[in-house]
A and B are shown apart, each in its own frame.
Chain A
Amino acid sequence: DAGVIQSPRHEVTEMGQEVTLRCKPISGHDYLFWYRQTMMRGLELLIYFNNNVPIDDSGMPEDRFSAKMPNASFSTLKIQPSEPRDSAVYFCASTLAGPLSNEQFFGPGTRLTVL
């Protein structure tokens, strides 16, 4: 298995533009997580899905952020409109049967820069 795949690896955009980050979890994993990492705030859980259904989105910073998981092999995190404070590394992770029993597998991350 190729592991968790994220695209793009780097994204530079201007304030106000829409940004879409993509993730393909490990085949067979039923949980998918989106995280954001910054120097100031560390690693923050934004939202997670179980069997394609969003379970907890309390970490999503505001309405400009949205996430979808249309099927078991694909998820998107969208920011519209983007702002400079959204600059961060965004990670996707997946696991089988949830973090209470298993490790999470992280993708390589998308480094987002909003100018």
Chain B
Amino acid sequence: SQQGEEDPQALSIQEGENATMNCSYKTSINNLQWYRQNSGRGLVHLILIRSNEREKHSGRLRVTLDTSKKSSSLLITASRAADTASYFCATAAIHTSGAGSYQLTFGKGTKLSVIP
């Protein structure tokens, strides 16, 4: 089944460094979304990139999408202690078995720790 898999599972960096997280998936998608989750909280949407887009920026975030490799990356530049959280990718596509339904699958996330 289609699934986003983040890599690495955990990442620890110093404040000010860049953090890169990767996501791989298995089948065709309509879009790929990145979310952040602080401990004990709900997920917060960061950025959505469509299948016909290759790169997108939002503030200190940069997302790339390579549909030929079925992979995406999230780059956080000049990291801050407040960026400490888990980051998830989610892939969205039309469900092949259900008329009008879609499949949205989340990976298990990358746990990022930014050390002050």
Contacts and interface: CB of A to CB of B under 8 A. Distances in A.
Q: Which interface residue of A42, A91, A93, A109 has the most chain B CB atoms within 10 A?
A: A42
B33 A100 contact: no
A45 B42 contact: no
A55 B100 contact: yes
Interface in B98-116: 98, 100-102, 104-109
B33 A99 contact: yes
Contacts of B106: 35, 42-45
Interface string B71-112: 000000000000000001010111100101110111111000
B33 A55 contact: no
B108 A107 contact: no
B48 interface: yes
Given A42-B107, A103-B33, A103-B48, A98 B102 contact: yes
A110 B72 CA distance: 30
B42 A56 contact: no
Contact of A100 (B31, B43, B44): B31
A91 B35 CA distance: 14
A56 B98 CA distance: 8
A13 interface: no
B101 A56 contact: yes
Contact of B104 (A45, A101, A105, A108): A45
Contacts of B104: 33, 45, 99, 104
A113 B3 CA distance: 27
A108 B44 CA distance: 10
For the complex of A and B, the 4 pairs showing the least CB-CB separation, nearest first, are A106-B42, A103-B45, A42-B108, A43-B106
Interface of A: 4, 33, 35, 42-45, 55-56, 58, 91, 93, 98-109
